Amino acid sequence: MKFSHLLLPILLFCTIKGGSQNTDLNPTPILLENNIKTSCPFFTKDTKGIPVMSFGKENKEGETVLCYSVFDSNKNKFQQPIIIESSKGVELHGENAPKIIFKPNNEIIAVWGIDNATEKKKYGGLVKYSQSFDNGETWTKAKSLVESPASIDQRYFDIDLLPNGEVAIIWLDSRTKTEAQGSTLYFAVTKGTTGFQDEKPIAETTCQCCRTDLFISKNGTINAAFRDIINDEIRDMVLTNSTDDGKTFSEPKRISPDNWKINGCPHTGPTMTENKNGLHFSWYTSGGGSGVFYCNSNDSGKSFSDRNVVSAKPSAKHPQITSLDNKDILIVWDETVTENKTMSVKIGLQHRNKNGEIVSTKYISSKDKTATFPIIEAINKNQLLVAWSQESTDENVYYKIVAIDKH
């Protein structure tokens, strides 16, 4: 799916406790420039654990570039954005958002997609990346993630930091050794300052246009979740993992046997996080009921709990999940809501305890706005950032803090 316009990320301040909600209607813009649009926010943290937001910027001529800004906890606002000049031409796509990551050696890596339309792949793309070794002051020339000319489509990537300080990446690739439908899931890691190396396929028949999710557990297990195409007709979420630093990966196992039969891509991928009780997952499906669902695993993905509903609305999509202070679970997603014959797309926020039991569920976006592709990041043990893309007149990035009371 391609987007003809850019959307505005916005963050709201809420207190969630027993159903109460307090919303600040005056969020802070991350950037105010005439004739500039911003979109595709992504959260990460720097080497000091400070939240960082990256986002795309587009001028009135349609020229795009990736930027990022570091959060100032003393002022509770993001600092002046830094522009990654080597990312000019970045594709701004909510399901395939550009990302940045900080290595312990103070290297910063930015990864993004660009268009690569061909006769064989009308909506094809390529993945590029750039490195900074001086705290973002300068960046290397954009590099291709894949050098092989046989790969004409690389998209829906995700990145995470390995225990040894290197960065792992997964992505969907057009190269395949089977006649069955789908893309191939590839994996690579950085080596020192030389960038990503030693790419290899780790799974086949992946759904072609759903984002992937890469998550490194505290014990070093590499977890990769994606929507698989099973028996040429079922598109369910699966998990594969590696306990030997990526040398081998397990056979993909279904997170939930939804048995969703669909000949097409829903453009909404899985999300996972971890707390002291294990791994936690959220995803969208229309198999056995439509909406956003949740489950967990207390044995590193060997088995999974029965799924339960986050939102049973068929329009509920694009979930993201995080844990707070290694305990509570927070899930955000978007869904269409009709009130008084007026339709809008709202952002939902669900608070679950460490066991995955629901504490509260709220809408946190304005009732008359169209808000999609939410993201979430913990600041400390009782605060987090929530962002999403929202249609607006100024199309700019806004942010606020979400405070979660203890239960």
> For residue range 299-325, what is the model confidence (pLDDT) as tens digits?
999 999 999 999 999 999 999 999 998
Which tokens is 316 given?
Answer: 């509920």
Contact 303, 296 (CB under 8 A): no
The per-residue pLDDT for 179 is 85
Model confidence pLDDT, tens digit, residues 160-204: 999 999 999 999 999 999 888 899 999 999 999 999 999 999 999
The Cα angle at residue 276 between residues 273 and 280, in degrees rounded to 5: 30
Q: Which amino acid is at 287?
A: G
Closest CA to 373 of 95, 134, 14, 176: 95
CA dist., res. 323 & res. 194, Å (int): 33
- Per-residue pLDDT at 148: 95
pLDDT, the chain, mean: 89
Closest Cα to residue 388, out of 293, 320, 326? 320
* pLDDT at residue 25 is higher than 60: no
132, 147 in Cβ contact below 8 A?
Answer: no
What mean pLDDT comes out for the span 252-268?
A: 94
- In order of their start, the domains of the chain are 38-335 (2.120.10.10)
The more confident residue out of 91 and 232 is 91
CA angle 101/102/107 to nearest 5° reads 120
Q: Does residue 298 carry a pLDDT above 50?
A: yes
Q: At 12, list the tokens.
A: 């709201």
User: What is the per-residue pLDDT for 123?
Assistant: 82
pTM: 0.92
Which of the pair, 243 or 6, is modelled with greater confidence? 243
Instruction: Look up tokens 């509770």; give the residue.
Output: 76
Would the pLDDT of 27 be above 70? no
